[in-house]
Structure 1
């Protein structure tokens, strides 16, 4: 019995991301190979979701650990390959630097609040991690040693990815100046306001959808089996109050989760106002934290 012929619709469709060939990579300094615009998910009625990869260029005895980076932009805008204001003129760039240190880096798209509301962006990041795991042998990566790293709104989503059910579970989280609580007034944020970025993420003012707002808040998702966190936040942040990181750190510590809180004096959002040397120090400490936790015992295991 012969198999039925595929329809024209099936023939003209682009290959599914699960088995589509990878785009060609290009050297990007320090032996790093960059692979840009890799589709990882087809969402019905939406644009294809893509990610960029920075892969260590040298041959390795074992698969590389992964940094899954999540960009900021108030859940409304932003680019997947942007680590923020103060790293845009680095040469080599921040992701090439992370890859040169022995990590693979994946920077993933997610649906913005003008396209879909929560939990869509979190679902997208789970889909990215699933795709990376599926293609891990081809990419030479070990997603069982994943650190999620995000800034601002991306830090909020990275926190949720680390705190909620994900397979494989991240082994660490690096969070820069991110919201952790969408239910209570902090700084300029008012939960009754339907025009805030938080309200656009949720599809309504947080006060009008308290259960959804709580589900979207990392602070409410803390549990004892969470991976280690590094929380870095400027004391003078005018966009996301430093209390977000302070509250999350306190909750993680109470749950028995390893957490490091670094409040940076004089720093506004995006490390605005800091000297270059201090920004470099924050980046280096974040990379060191990541290395410590991909090389150490995994959450839920004994040393």
Structure 2
């Protein structure tokens, strides 16, 4: 028999995943589409299934329709779910039409949910996925030295972890990722915490024992500051980190804008090339990557890699990635996933 706390957590998981599916619905139609559909390779296992029957070890690959002899850049995409689902690769199809038609291979990557394994399992997973992809780059026609990662919300957190742990990733695109779990509640928009508590039956917003962040760490976040610190991507940041593009809306009711401010300040302190788009009037939604919003505010660390765009569109992301690929690659960490690839 399932005990009451676990039963409640499972119910919360279902509710949160369902709500996030609405909040982060697929982005707008791309401005350019391929004349022929991409070649698709689904459910490739980059590691053994843990637990058996899970999906957190799978990835999908989308190759442009036309085969070429010159390897293409690779964009790894991971969707967010508050770490409560193992199907992050499902975000990739929203980006595939634009990026494959512009010469990228796209990989949708899933990692384990917090119900299947707690932190740092998700970091281990994304490192294993990058290692597998680098080892199979020739087979799937992409360049192992031109890999970027993109994710939204918890997927953005995973993308940052991939970029900051010596995997050889050359650029990171972070859409409204949580950074310092311990500072989230103090900076929530007015009324956001009571709404979160009511919808998901929490008692203390992100500090609740059943919040996504507490579930990820396996402890209420206020009781385990050492684990909170270990899960903060900033703690893994060095000046050798790849360029980062941050996109966050001012009306985000789940992950406060302050979280991206913290990340930007840390990147500035480390002198890591960064572009930070703050989009007015937009909440926790993948529709943030669209030209229909009010003009964004843009800040930089270092000289801009590309001219500022009025909105963080797919075109702006592509321009940032291509500019990042021209920069010298940092060496992989001594025990990072590049070793032996």
* SS in structure 2 at match of 1:83: helix
- 2:318 aligned partner: 287
Q: Is residue 31–residue 100 contact of structure 1 (8 Å, CA) maintained in 2?
A: no
Q: Is residue 54–residue 96 contact of structure 1 (8 Å, CA) maintained in 2?
A: no
Q: Is residue 266–residue 274 contact of structure 1 (8 Å, CA) maintained in 2?
A: no
CA deviation after TM superposition for structure 1 residue 32, in Å: 2.2
1:222 partnered with 2:253: no
Distance 1:275 1:158, change over 3 A: closer
Pairs within 5 Å for 1:246-257: 246-257=261-272
C-alpha separation between the residues in 1 aligned to 2:219 and 2:35? 45
Coordinate RMSD, CA, aligned: 2.6
Pairs within 5 Å for 1:148-297: 148-166=149-167, 169-184=168-183, 185=185, 186-187=187-188, 188=193, 192-271=207-286, 277-278=292-293, 281-297=312-328
CA deviation after TM superposition for structure 1 residue 170, in Å: 0.7
Distance 1:264 1:158, change over 3 A: same
CA deviation after TM superposition for structure 1 residue 98, in Å: 0.8
Cα deviation 1:30-63 (Å, max 9, x = unaligned)? 4521221212210454336211111123233421
CA deviation after TM superposition for structure 1 residue 71, in Å: 1.0
- TM-score under structure 2 normalisation? 0.71
- 2:141 aligned partner: 140
* SS in structure 1 at match of 2:313: helix
CA deviation after TM superposition for structure 1 residue 210, in Å: 1.4
Q: Is residue 29–residue 96 contact of structure 1 (8 Å, CA) maintained in 2?
A: no
Distance 1:271 1:32, change over 3 A: closer
Q: Is residue 77–residue 112 contact of structure 1 (8 Å, CA) maintained in 2?
A: yes
Pairs within 5 Å for 1:9-24: none
- 2:75 aligned partner: 67
- 1:113 aligned partner: 114
C-alpha separation between the residues in 2 aligned to 1:115 and 1:45? 7
* SS in structure 1 at match of 2:114: coil
* SS in structure 1 at match of 2:285: helix
Cα deviation 1:130-173 (Å, max 9, x = unaligned)? 1111111111112221111000110011111111232xx11110
- 1:40 aligned partner: 46
C-alpha separation between the residues in 2 aligned to 1:261 and 1:112? 28
CA deviation after TM superposition for structure 1 residue 208, in Å: 1.6
CA deviation after TM superposition for structure 1 residue 287, in Å: 2.0
Cα deviation 1:177-210 (Å, max 9, x = unaligned)? 1111123243148564211100001111122221
Q: Is residue 202–residue 212 contact of structure 1 (8 Å, CA) maintained in 2?
A: yes
Most deviating of 234-243 and 46-55: 46-55
Most deviating of 41-50 and 184-193: 184-193
- 1:23 aligned partner: none
